[in-house]
């Protein structure tokens, strides 16, 4: 049995803490008086410092300590959470990530520069007037840690040192639970401690000392009103307590109480699983689906009723397992959207513009592999919107707009796709400039007739840029082609809408998953193909007479509307004669529809998607392949590409007519 690397576990937890710290800092940048966020940032810094010290990341712990101290002053009301202070801690947070990833690097010079900037921000914030000085309080603290605390990396001396930093304290160790030498396990912890503390810090400072071991320990904190008294020797019977301690202890939750159980239960609800194991499990489920398809085919050709019954059970169970596995891989897009708050914050500072980010649909779930591959395209699109789309404040005022521009980032599900939209209220895309650039670059002929959508698609060509000057953010024409390639690789589509003076909207339609889909298995000639079932609207019959009548026009009448169709037999050049009663499968992407003429509809099929080889990577008609039950390979049709091809065919026919 293999155990997880503790350093890898720490790095994972540190990444989550850094994300929480960044989110809290960005919230404070908008609402500096939010005490809850101040406390949340402080707790995150405190936990990161303690965990770093526990796992040997001493440089991280020492550096984070200064940021924690700065926010401790904010928490106490000594300094306000100014934008300069928030910006300084944001920069420090980026350095903390570097100290987590490369703890052995030479980071002293950078650390000192950032700490100087932090001290300057704290001193510049000043101290607000306080009504009265802090008052000293006295506490009696008795705590014990789990027996395996040291084996799990907890150092009790570190906790005692932190208590000493809070004020004057007296510490007595209770050694009554230490067993005889013959039965002593040197790894186990048998001590408990009684600490008498006099401090001007608030009661919450004591809780912060034990913040990352609180759930597993026993602790009793009593505020003493009179002169405190700590016994010279620990009581032989730990159940005996002085009356005032017993009264106060009665108000505290005992071990095993509902409060403690609730915490333990909550912690047990989530299990951290490496992404690689999920991918491996997904591969196994895919192989199981393929084997189940073979079993179903064998059972269908057999007269053995028991074999058919077993086949149906396996089909049902594999379907349920597939659905469960898909849910496990689905993650909310809030993990993706969250990182853009920092990006927009930094872009606003770099461009000198006032920019607000508005997000919606953060709970929309997408396959984790899709989330990972969408990060870079969205970064390019958001940067372009901030740099090219939004105007400076003076231009917006002259145009009658609010000084602060808005970037809208939204996500929603539609059939088997997720639609992610990036929208701004800026100047919009200059169509004349796009056309002029495309003509000068030789992408289109002079005076070529193009729709707005076709014209906007040119901005995704490699090296295409209408920027008058190159900036640190954009202008080299190397970003939007990356967006196009990535979205194409995800079998997605891009739609662009722009209104001069009102802004632009770019919508990305991406499949929810890249692993297993429900498909419609069809036959064209002697070959079999899979159409993603989420894109199928309906199936119609195309008789020989209708087929002959539509030659040269390739339209079918569907409820008072004309729908273009593509004869896949001609597209694939099968060289076979059509079946007497061909079928038309109507597919759609959003509001656009096209019909696919096939020879036979075989039925639904659980499709395990396999990537195409590098040799066939540029074949736009197919998005992948799958293995059928008989061991043969069926190609998966790229719905977006076929719809686009049908639209082009429709446009050419209309122009010819």
Q: pLDDT tens for residues 60-74?
A: 988 999 998 888 888
Higher pLDDT, 251 or 200: 200
Predicted local distance difference test score (pLDDT) of residue 631: 75
**8: Cβ–Cβ under 8 A, 6 or more apart, which residues?**
none
Neighbours of 72 (CB within 10 A): 18
Give DSSP secondary structure letters for 361-407: -TT-EEEHHHHHHHHHHHHHHHHHIIIIISPPHHHHHHTT--SSEEE
* pLDDT tens string 257-299: 344 444 444 444 667 777 778 888 888 888 888 888 888 888 8
Residue of 514 and 556 predicted with greater confidence: 556
Rounded to whole angstroms, the Cα distance separating 275 from 63 reads 30
CB 463 within 8 A of CB 447: no
| Confidence at residue 550, expressed as pLDDT on a 0 to 100 scale | 63
Question: What is the percent of the chain with per-residue pLDDT over 70, rounded to a whole number?
Answer: 84
More confident residue, 534 or 479: 534
Residue 139 · residue 206 · CB < 8 Å: yes
The total of other beta-carbon atoms located within 10 Å of residue 51's CB is 19
Structure tokens that stand for 66 in this block: 């200064």
Residue 625: count of CB within 10 angstroms of its CB: 19
- Measured from the Cβ of residue 83, the count of other Cβ atoms closer than 10 Å reads 14
Burial 446-482 (b: 16+ CB within 10 A, else e): eeeebeeeebbbbbbbeebbbbeeeeebbbebebbbe
pLDDT of the residue at 630: 74
330 contact partners, CB below 8 Å, separation of at least 6: 365, 366, 367, 368, 512, 513
Q: For residue 92, what pLDDT is reported?
A: 92
Which of 123-132, 147-156, 321-330, 596-605 has the weakest average pLDDT? 123-132
Ranking 71-85, 181-195, 230-244, 548-562 by mean pLDDT, the lowest is 230-244
pLDDT (average), residues 465-488? 64
Instruction: Give the separation between CA 567 and CA 555, rounded to whole angstroms.
Output: 11
pLDDT surpassing 90 at residue 410: yes
Instruction: Summarize the confidence of residues 450-468 as an average pLDDT.
Output: 76
Q: Are 483 and 335 in contact (CB under 8 A)?
A: no
The pLDDT value recorded for residue 286 is: 82
Torsion of CA 268, 274, 277, 278, to 10 degrees: 70
| DSSP secondary structure letter of residue 221 | E
CA angle 580, 584, 589 (to 5 degrees): 165
Specify the pLDDT at position 375: 86
Q: Is the pLDDT of residue 470 over 70?
A: no
Q: pLDDT over 90 for what percent of the chain? A: 12
Average pLDDT value for residue range 3-13 = 78
Residue with the two structure tokens 């686009």: 644
DSSP H or E run through 556: strand 555-558
Residue 444: pLDDT band by 50, 70, 90 thresholds? confident
Flag whether pLDDT at 556 surpasses 80: no
According to DSSP, the residues that pair with 524 across neighbouring strands are 527
Q: What is the pLDDT of residues 179-225, one digit of tens each?
A: 888 888 888 888 899 999 888 887 878 887 887 777 778 888 888 87
State both tokens at 407.
């970037």
**Single pTM value for the model:** 0.64
575: left (phi over 0), alpha (psi -120 to 50) or beta: left
Interatomic CA distance for residues 190 and 211, integer angstroms? 21
* Average pLDDT of the chain to the nearest whole number: 80
The length of the chain, given as a count of residues: 657
pLDDT at 407 over 90: yes
């Amino acid at each position: 049995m293999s155990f997880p690397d503790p350093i890898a576990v720490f790095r994972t937890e540190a990444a989550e803490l850094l994300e929480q710290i960044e989110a809290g800092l960005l919230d404070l940048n908008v609402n500096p008086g939010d005490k809850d966020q101040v406390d949340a940032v402080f707790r995150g810094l405190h936990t990161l410092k303690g965990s770093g010290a526990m796992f040997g990341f001493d440089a991280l712990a020492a550096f984070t300590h200064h940021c924690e101290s700065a926010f401790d002053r904010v928490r106490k009301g000594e300094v306000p959470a100014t934008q300069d202070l928030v910006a300084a801690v944001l920069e420090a947070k980026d350095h903390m990530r570097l100290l987590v990833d490369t703890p052995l690097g030479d980071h002293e010079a950078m650390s000192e520069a950032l700490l100087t900037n932090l001290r300057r921000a704290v001193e510049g914030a000043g101290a607000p007037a306080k009504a009265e000085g802090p008052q000293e309080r006295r506490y009696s603290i008795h705590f014990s840690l789990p027996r395996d605390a040291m084996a799990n990396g907890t150092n009790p001396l570190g906790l005692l040192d932190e208590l000493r930093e809070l004020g004057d304290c007296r510490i007595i160790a209770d050694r009554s639970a230490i067993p005889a030498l013959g039965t002593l396990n040197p790894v186990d912890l048998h001590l408990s401690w009684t600490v008498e503390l006099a401090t001007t810090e608030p009661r919450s400072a004591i809780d912060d000392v034990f913040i990352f071991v609180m759930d597993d320990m026993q602790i009793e904190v009593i505020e003493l009103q009179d002169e405190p008294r700590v016994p010279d020797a620990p009581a032989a019977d730990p159940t005996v307590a002085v009356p005032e301690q017993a009264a106060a202890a009665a108000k505290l939750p005992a071990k095993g109480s509902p409060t403690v159980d609730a915490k333990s239960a909550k912690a047990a609800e989530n299990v951290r699983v490496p992404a690689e194991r999920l991918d491996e499990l997904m591969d196994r489920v895919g192989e199981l689906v393929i084997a189940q398809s073979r079993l179903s085919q064998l059972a269908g050709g057999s007269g053995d009723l028991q074999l058919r019954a077993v086949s149906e059970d396996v089909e049902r169970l594999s379907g349920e397992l597939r659905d469960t596995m898909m849910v496990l891989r689905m993650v909310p897009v809030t993990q993706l959207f969250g990182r853009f708050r920092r990006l927009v914050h930094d872009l606003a500072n770099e461009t000198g513009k006032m920019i607000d980010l508005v997000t919606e649909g953060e709970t929309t779930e997408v396959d984790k592999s899709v989330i990972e591959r969408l990060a870079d395209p969205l970064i390019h699109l958001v940067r372009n919107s901030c740099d090219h789309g939004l105007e400076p404040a003076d231009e917006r005022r002259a145009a009658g707009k609010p000084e602060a521009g808005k970037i809208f980032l939204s996500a929603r599900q539609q059939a088997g796709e997720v639609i992610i939209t990036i929208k701004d209220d800026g100047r919009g895309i200059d169509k004349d400039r796009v056309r002029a650039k495309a003509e000068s670059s030789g992408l289109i002929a002079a005076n070529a007739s193009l729709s707005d959508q076709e014209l906007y698609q040119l901005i995704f060509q490699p090296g295409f840029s209408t920027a008058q000057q190159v900036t640190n953010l954009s202008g080299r024409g190397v970003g939007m082609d990356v967006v196009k390639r990535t979205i194409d690789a995800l079998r997605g589509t891009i739609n662009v809408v722009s209104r001069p003076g009102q802004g632009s909207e770019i919508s990305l339609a991406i499949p929810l998953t890249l692993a297993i889909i429900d498909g419609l298995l069809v036959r064209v000639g002697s070959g079999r193909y899979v159409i993603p079932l989420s894109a199928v609207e309906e199936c119609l019959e195309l008789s020989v007479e209708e087929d002959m009548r539509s030659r040269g026009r390739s339209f079918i009448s569907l409820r008072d509307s004309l729908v273009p169709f593509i004869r896949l037999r001609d597209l694939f050049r099968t060289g076979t004669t059509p079946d007497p009663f061909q079928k038309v499968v109507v597919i759609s992407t959003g509001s656009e529809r096209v019909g696919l003429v096939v020879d036979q509809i075989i039925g639904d099929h659980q499709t395990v998607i396999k990537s195409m080889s590098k040799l066939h990577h540029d074949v736009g008609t197919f998005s992948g392949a799958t293995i059928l039950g008989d061991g043969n390979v069926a190609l998966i049709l790229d719905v977006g590409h076929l719809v686009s091809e049908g639209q082009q065919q429709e446009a050419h026919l209309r122009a010819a007519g």
